[in-house]
Amino acid sequence: MAVAIVTGSAGLIGSEAVLFLADKGLDVVGIDNDMRRYFFGDDGSTLWRRAMLQRTVHRYQHVDADIRDESALTQIFSHYGAAITIVLHTAAQPSHDWAIREPLTDFATNATGTLVLLEMTRRHCPDATFIFTSTNKVYGDTPNRLPLVERERRWSVDAVHPYAEYGIDESMTIDASMHSLFGVSKASADLLVQEYGQYFGMKTACFRGGCLTGPGHSGAQLHGFLSYLVKCAVIDRPYTVFGYKGKQVRDNIHSHDLVTAFWHFAQAPRSGAVYNIGGGPASNCSVLEAITAVERLIGRPMRWSYDHRHRAGDHIWWISDIRKFREHYPAWNLMYSFDRLIEEIYGDMHDRQVQSKGI
């Protein structure tokens, strides 16, 4: 019996991983206590996604536990022991703005929770592959010092710069920048995952994601850019664009594409690996471009307004250079373009809205 542990199992990436790993024949133990609802209110709750997994995935066992709770995690890891072959850590407090409200909760969730999981893995299943869903926010605001050029609907990097063609690679420093408290807690976790790989020889990887998205996302104003944007469009809720004239650029990767990348790594793992991962040059948009795309799908203008105050530590331009991962795992490739991705999010959101109204 091969077992996968997935934290944040009802969230966007976690639930996608549950479906994928169960399909691969693994028994999946999901750890999720719907902290996203505590962070973001009802919009952020993942209970709907958890119910779907419990209803449809017979290989799935849900555990309502907190990743900071060493006692609870000891029970889980000691029970399955060496049968655990993959630990996929997707649970997090994921918002810049929310971290300011409760810095202790943010750090404990992101950094201490990760340390607890690494120790559980080292003690009970040291041969397991440990995959951490990190973030591009570990680079702080360093990307904002790139030579940026303002276009009509987006910011771009000057064409002479090495990052202009393929995006930002892993050589960018994480030092001497403002990260936001969220970025700091995730950077701490990122370094811990690397260290357990380098120091203990464990099979660990940090995937520093750009905008992770897909129909399984419970988007809220403070986190989940595309999902929340589409939700506002579908239910005709006012949407606010924060800063940078709405021209800030995000690359977008579908949760399925990210989880398949995790799977490729797990088949030939390394120790202390770090990868920038995202939609890259093939799948990215500015906020203004995303609004236009959504308006095209709904067939009417969105209600949106502009707030000139940008979020502290936010990136003006981010496109991931994914060539390192592709070099290490050449069989992997992106399946979703931006257009296909946003159409799927819209279709799922529209169908759920229709069902909720009993239409």
Asked if 201 and 1 count as a contact pair (C-beta separation under 8 A), the reply is no
Confidence grade of residue 215 (pLDDT, cut at 50, 70, 90): confident
Show Cβ contacts of residue 221 under 8 Å, excluding neighbours closer than 6 positions. 40, 43, 228, 240
pTM of the predicted structure, to 2 decimals: 0.95
Distances 15 to 23, 49, 320 between C-alpha atoms, Å: 12, 7, 23
The more confident residue out of 40 and 130 is 130
Show Cβ contacts of residue 298 under 8 Å, excluding neighbours closer than 6 positions. 233, 234, 346
Quick: pLDDT tens for 277-332: 999 999 999 999 999 999 999 999 999 999 999 887 789 999 999 999 999 999 99
Alpha-carbon gap, residue 139 to 176, rounded angstroms: 9
Nearest to 153 by CA among 244, 251, 252: 244
**In the prediction, which pLDDT does 359 show?**
36
Alpha-carbon gap, residue 159 to 295, rounded angstroms: 30
Show Cβ contacts of residue 102 under 8 Å, excluding neighbours closer than 6 positions. none
Would you say residue 176 has pLDDT above 50? yes
**In the prediction, which pLDDT does 356 show?**
66
Q: Which CATH number fits domain 3-357: 1.10.10.10, 3.30.930.10, 3.40.50.720, 2.70.98.50?
A: 3.40.50.720
Neighbour tally for 7: CB within 10 Å: 26
Percent of the chain with pLDDT over 90: 88
Cα dihedral: 267, 271, 274, 280 (round 10): -20
- The single-letter code of the amino acid at 336 is Y
- The single-letter code of the amino acid at 132 is F
